[in-house]
């Protein structure tokens, strides 16, 4: 079996392994595997597809973000975009993210970080304007 054929079979397997946890996490809000486990599977698939672009399919989990939001959530336009750390799982990935932030902000920008525990699946953006929340 060729390397490309092995990669194709592994990519198919990974897509199947990702699909159910993806649905349970994004649609049912009831994850069955940890966030880290899910993203390690997704990263492996991303790696295979990067090495073999011919394996990318329109329905691949790498070609979409989760699932459609629940109907209970309305659409909100933020004055300042909400961003994330791009799933940094170790110090090296955190440092790479920091470098991208600094590059994006420009050489004279001052960067201060605040770190807090992440409660997966929810994001909150609160604003005070003229003393009112």
Q: Catalytic residue numbers?
A: 118
Q: Rounded to whole angstroms, how far apart are CA atoms 22 and 14? A: 12
Contacts 24+ apart (CB under 8 A), 82-87: 82/123, 82/125, 87/39
Q: Which two three-digit tokens encode residue 84?
A: 């994330």
| Beta bridge mates, 129 | 132
Q: Provide φ and ψ at 112, rounded to 5°.
A: -125, 130
Rounded distance, CA 31 to CA 39, Å?
A: 13
């Amino acid at each position: 079996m060729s390397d490309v054929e092995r990669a194709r079979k592994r990519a198919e397997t990974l897509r199947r392994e990702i699909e159910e946890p993806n649905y349970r996490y994004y649609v049912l809000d009831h994850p069955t595997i940890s966030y880290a486990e899910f993203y390690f599977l997704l990263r492996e698939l991303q790696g295979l597809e990067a090495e073999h672009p011919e394996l990318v399919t329109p329905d691949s989990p790498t070609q979409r973000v989760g699932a459609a939001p629940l109907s209970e959530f309305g659409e909100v336009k933020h004055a300042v975009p909400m961003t994330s750390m791009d799933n940094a799982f170790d110090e090296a990935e955190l440092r790479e993210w920091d470098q991208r932030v600094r590059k994006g902000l420009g050489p004279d920008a001052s960067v201060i970080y605040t770190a807090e525990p992440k409660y997966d699946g929810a994001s909150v953006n609160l604003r005070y304007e003229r003393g009112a929340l």
